[in-house]
Amino acid sequence: MTDSSAGQAAAQAEGMQGIVADWSSDQRAFKNVPWGKAMMWIFLLSDTFIFSIFLLSYMTVRMSTTVPWPNPSEIFALSFGGEPIPLILIAIMTFILITSSGTMVLAVNYGYRQDRFRTMIFLLITAAFGATFVGMQAFEWTKLIVEEGVRPWGNPFGAAQFGSTFFMITGFHGFHVSVGVIFLVIVARKVWKGEFDNGTPGFFTSRPGRYEIVETMGLYWHFVDLVWVFIFAFFYLW
């Protein structure tokens, strides 16, 4: 090996070691970006692929089936005073979830200001909205299964694929909301106890005086809300 080749190999090895050192020390690749936040973005990207596949599968099934597709406006209607109101429950659920994005923004805002009390309050309000959404979704599922006879393998309204796609997509999203509610309550408790102010060791900790986990939870929650907008548009309005 010539001197120039040896020098080039040494420089290349040093360069690779430099890249590893930069990424592992969090000094250049993600300057001032917490690893938790960076990993949340990666997780949300992977989750985007999953929900995209679900919605694309739903559209493919709906456009390819030869059996009439059930009318969501009729199936998801609720009667008030003897008159059915189309999609009223879904509209309320959507309003609740979108409103929860606003309260999550406030929680993050007060987290930046290190206002423990308001941060905790808005985290709990967001969790309450999420729990309400999941409760209304449980009511929706119960009505479809018990009263309407909808099953994953068939239903009395039309194409058999309706039940499988509905339970798969809304169930997977409802699972995300449920997990979010649990973590919101955990983070709210840690905020109230002042664990982010003094950097108490444990799960979801951050540097002393930083509320980074609140912003990370905000990313997750806004993603869940955004996905619901697409589900609402594709599944209920189409």
Q: Residue 201: which CATH number?
A: 1.20.120.80
Do residue 22 and residue 52 come from a single domain?
no
* Residue 81, pLDDT score: 74
More confident residue, 109 or 38: 109
Tell me which residue range forms the domain holding 6. Answer: 1-32
Q: In whole angstroms, what is the distance from residue 167 CA to residue 151 CA?
A: 9
Mean pLDDT (the chain) is: 85
Number of domains into which the chain is organized: 2
- How far, in Å, CA of 130 to CA of 175, rounded? 11
Instruction: Tell me what percent of the residues of the chain surpass a pLDDT of 70.
Output: 81
Q: What residues contact residue 141 under an 8 Å CB cut-off, 6+ apart?
A: 167, 170
In a shared domain, residues 4 and 96:
no
Average pLDDT on 137-153 reads 92
pTM of structure: 0.83
Are 16 and 117 within one domain? no
20 with 44, same domain: the answer is no
Instruction: Using the predicted structure, report yes or no on whether residue 52 has a pLDDT greater than 80.
Output: yes
Of the pLDDT bands very low, low, confident and very high (cuts 50, 70, 90), residue 10 is very low
The answer to whether 111 and 148 are in contact (CB under 8 A) is no
Mean pLDDT value of segment 91-107: 96
**Integer CA distances (angstroms), 104 to 30, 39, 140, 194, in order:** 25, 20, 25, 19
Residues 48, 4 share a domain: no
Examine the domain organization and report whether 11 and 116 are in the same domain.
no
Same domain as 102, residue 148: yes
